[in-house]
Amino acid sequence: MGSRFDEMRIFSGNGNPDLTRLICERVGVPQGDATIVRFSNENIFVRLNESVREKDVFVVQSLSTPNLSDRVMELLIMLDACRRASAGRVTAVIPYFAYGRTDKKDQPRVPITARLLADMIQAAGAHQVLTIDLHAGQIQGFFNIPTDELTAMHLLVRYWADKGWDDMIVVSPDVGFAKRGRNFAEALGAPLAISEKRRVQHFGRHDGSHTSAEILNLIGDVAGKRCIVVDDEIATGGSILEVVQLLEREGAREIYACCVHPVFTASAVQRLSNSGIQELVTTDTLPLPPDKRWPSLTILSVSHLIAEVIQRIHSGVSVDTIFTQRNHPALGR
């Protein structure tokens, strides 16, 4: 099926240029030529150095740290530039969607920042959105434009399945992730354990509020088994390390972990690399410079998944069939 647009163009922000390069290589198109400049007054300027009139344009931008606010503004300005340059269709490709934890009003007088960000992306000129494993499923409903939420969990499942272990047990770090943890365990043909956790909120006079995790209980028997703790993202590593300590107390034989989004803020790298985790597996939805890597960290690329979906969107082919074909190349084989 042919596209109704003349050609495809893929542009990159500064959020994850290495991932964009891999996507372009897999799609088989050169990366779009654009200039992004941050002036001394901190204003961001974007210029597209080639025509996008009536073309199918994809803007790839992970909303990563450091300089998260700059990454958000780059995305919005690039979308606006494409719209004003008469692009036929503009798709915002956001491998990691920031502010995913502020998806509801769970305290008095607080914003729903994820909804605000969705509104800004639409106002800037995006005709549709492509993202991976949102922290909260309802964020997809914040958009009034077509939004495809992909999952990289299949890549992680394939990685562990290839180990051929017969004593695996999947561990969900909290009850909120239990449904996705159950699906992960079923895909591996392994049992599921769930750590019951509550978050304790602390209020300070000057520094606002913050939360810390407290592990209460473990539902499931992990004694003598290889445990695989799975989550959608790891930020400070505090929650997952609490789970690791609990599993050690419960007699786990070996402990592994995996996540889709390696946020790795603060002292997460040092804490995780010095923990009892034998291997941590993640993806490249976010850039991982050398100082955020260690020997037992394994990184799987989502470039082939995103590239396949971009080609399908451009050609008008269904996306969901990727996940119904167990040995589809986009899922790692």
Confirm if 57 and 86 have CB atoms less than 8 A apart.
no
Instruction: Decide if 55 is catalytic.
Output: no
Total count of residues recorded for the chain: 333
| 215 Cβ neighbours under 8 A, 6+ residues apart | 195, 196, 197, 242, 243, 245, 246
**Assigned token pair, 308:** 């396949």
Confirm if 88 and 5 have CB atoms less than 8 A apart.
yes
| 214 Cβ neighbours under 8 A, 6+ residues apart | 197, 198, 199, 200, 242
Pick from 63, 319, 288: nearest CA to 330: 319
| 252 Cβ neighbours under 8 A, 6+ residues apart | 222, 223, 224, 225, 226, 227
The helix/strand/coil state of 280 is: strand
55, 197, 225, 292: the active-site residue: 197
What letter does residue 87 receive in the DSSP assignment? B
Place of tokens 């994850």: 16
Could you give phi then psi for residue 235, rounded to 5 degrees?
-100, -90
DSSP string, 169-227: EEEESSGGGHHHHHHHHHHHT--EEEEEEEEEEEEETTTEEEEEEEEEEEES--BTSEE
DSSP string, 215-268: EEEEES--BTSEEEEEEEEESSSHHHHHHHHHHHHTTBSEEEEEEEEE---TTH
Q: Strand 128-132 vs strand 44-48: parallel, antiparallel, or unpaired? A: unpaired
Q: Could you list the active site residues?
A: 197
